[in-house]
Structure 1
Amino acid sequence: MKYRLLGSLVGLLMTGAALTAVEGAQAVAAPAACDASDAAIYTPPAAVSAAPGTLLACEAVTLPKVPGSIPMKAWKVQYASTDLHGTPIAVSGTVAVPTAAWTRGGSRPVIGFNPGTLGLGLQCAFSKQLAGAYQDEYEGDQIAAILKAGYAVAATDGVGYLNGQTHTYVVGRNAGHALLDAVRTAFQVPGGGLSTGAKVGVWGYSEGGQASLWAAQLASSYAPELRVVGDAAGGVPGDLKITAAGLNGGPFAGFLLAAVLGLHTAYPSMPFDSLLNDAGRSAIQQGKTLCLVGTVTAFALANIKNYTKDALTLDQIYALSGPDGTWSDLIDAQKLGVGVGPAWSGAQYRIGFPVMQYRGLADEVIPAATEDGTHKAYCSAGVTTQWNTYAGDHLTADNQAINDVMSFFADRIAGWPTLGNC
Structure 2
Amino acid sequence: MVISHRSRKPLPRRAALLAAAGLFGGLLAVPAVTAAAGTPQACSAADADIYRPPDRATATPGAVVACRRVDSLPMVIGGPPLNAWKVQYGSTDGRGRRVSAVGTVVVPQKPWTGPGERPLVAFVPGTLGIGPQCAFSRQLAGQYQDAYEGPNIAALLNAGYAVAATDGQGYMDGEVHPYVSGAEAGHAVLDMARAASRVPGTGVSPDAEVGIWGYSEGGSGSLWAAQLARSYAPELHVVGAASGGIPADLKEVASNLDGQFFAGFLVDAFVGLSVTHPELPFDDILDDSGRKAVKDAESLCALGTVSRFPLARIEQYTKDGLTLDQIYALRGSDGTTWGDAVRANKLGAGVGTPGSGARYEIGFPVFQYRGLLDEVIPDRTASATRRAYCDAGVATRWTAYVGDHLTGDAQAIGDVVNWLGDRFGGKADTGNC
TM-score range, shorter chain: over 0.9
Partners of 1:80 and 1:138 in 2: CA distance: 27
Q: CA offsets per residue over residues 110-132 of structure 1, 9 Å max, x none?
A: 00011000011221110011111
Matched, 1:362 2:359: no
> In structure 1, what is the equivalent of residue 32 of structure 2?
none
TM-fit CA distance, 1:134: 2.0
Does the 8 A contact of 2:187 with 2:232 survive in 1? yes
> In structure 1, what is the equivalent of residue 64 of structure 2?
55
> In structure 2, what is the equivalent of residue 21 of structure 1?
none
Does the 8 A contact of 2:168 with 2:188 survive in 1? yes
Partners of 1:130 and 1:414 in 2: CA distance: 29
State the 4+ residue runs in structure 1 displaced beyond 6 angstroms. Answer: none
CA 1:362/1:191 → structure 2, altered by over 3 Å: closer, same or farther?
same
User: After superposition, where does 1:69-148 map in structure 2 within 5 Å?
Assistant: 69-148=79-158
Corresponding residue to 2:406 among 392, 395, 408: 395
> In structure 1, what is the equivalent of residue 76 of structure 2?
66
Partners of 1:407 and 1:69 in 2: CA distance: 16
User: If the length of structure 2 is used for normalisation, what is the TM-score?
Assistant: 0.91
User: After superposition, where does 1:18-417 map in structure 2 within 5 Å?
Assistant: 33-61=42-70, 62-322=72-332, 323=334, 325-417=336-428
The answer to which of 202-211 and 136-145 deviates more is: 136-145
Aligned residue identity for 1:39? A
Does the 8 A contact of 1:123 with 1:134 survive in 2? no
Partners of 1:361 and 1:163 in 2: CA distance: 38
TM-fit CA distance, 1:177: 0.1
Secondary structure of 2:192's partner?
A: helix
Q: CA offsets per residue over residues 303-358 of structure 1, 9 Å max, x none?
A: 00111111111001101111151111111000000000011311000000000000
> In structure 2, what is the equivalent of residue 420 of structure 1?
431
Partners of 2:84 and 2:126 in 1: CA distance: 21
Does the 8 A contact of 1:41 with 1:58 survive in 2? yes
TM-fit CA distance, 1:78: 0.4
Secondary structure of 1:317's partner?
A: helix
Identity %: 58
TM-fit CA distance, 1:9: 9.1
Secondary structure of 1:117's partner?
A: coil
> In structure 1, what is the equivalent of residue 20 of structure 2?
7
Does the 8 A contact of 2:41 with 2:69 survive in 1? no
Aligned residue identity for 2:325? D
The answer to which of 39-48 and 351-360 deviates more is: 39-48
Residues paired across the two proteins, number: 401
CA RMSD in angstroms, aligned pairs only:
1.5
Partners of 1:9 and 1:298 in 2: CA distance: 18
CA 1:143/1:94 → structure 2, altered by over 3 Å: closer, same or farther?
same
Partners of 2:17 and 2:79 in 1: CA distance: 19
Q: CA offsets per residue over residues 38-72 of structure 1, 9 Å max, x none?
A: 10010001112121000111111121110115111
Does the 8 A contact of 2:18 with 2:307 survive in 1? no
CA 1:47/1:324 → structure 2, altered by over 3 Å: closer, same or farther?
farther
Does the 8 A contact of 1:361 with 1:390 survive in 2? yes
Partners of 2:21 and 2:210 in 1: CA distance: 35
Partners of 2:283 and 2:172 in 1: CA distance: 23
TM-fit CA distance, 1:214: 0.2
Does the 8 A contact of 2:59 with 2:100 survive in 1? no
Does the 8 A contact of 1:238 with 1:335 survive in 2? yes
Does the 8 A contact of 2:288 with 2:317 survive in 1? yes
> In structure 2, what is the equivalent of residue 26 of structure 1?
none
Secondary structure of 1:357's partner?
A: strand
Does the 8 A contact of 2:17 with 2:306 survive in 1? no
Secondary structure of 1:92's partner?
A: strand
Q: CA offsets per residue over residues 176-218 of structure 1, 9 Å max, x none?
A: 0000000000001111011111000000000000000000000
Partners of 1:389 and 1:112 in 2: CA distance: 23
Aligned residue identity for 2:371? G
The answer to which of 62-71 and 100-109 deviates more is: 62-71
Does the 8 A contact of 1:147 with 1:153 survive in 2? yes
Aligned residue identity for 1:45? P
CA 1:324/1:67 → structure 2, altered by over 3 Å: closer, same or farther?
farther
> In structure 2, what is the equivalent of residue 23 of structure 1?
none
Does the 8 A contact of 1:129 with 1:138 survive in 2? no
TM-fit CA distance, 1:3: 4.8
> In structure 1, what is the equivalent of residue 7 of structure 2?
none
CA 1:123/1:375 → structure 2, altered by over 3 Å: closer, same or farther?
same
Partners of 1:69 and 1:352 in 2: CA distance: 31
Does the 8 A contact of 2:314 with 2:324 survive in 1? yes
CA 1:6/1:219 → structure 2, altered by over 3 Å: closer, same or farther?
farther
> In structure 2, what is the equivalent of residue 13 of structure 1?
none
The answer to which of 277-286 and 219-228 deviates more is: 277-286
CA 1:9/1:294 → structure 2, altered by over 3 Å: closer, same or farther?
farther
Structure 1: 5+ residue stretches without partners:
11-30
Partners of 1:280 and 1:421 in 2: CA distance: 45
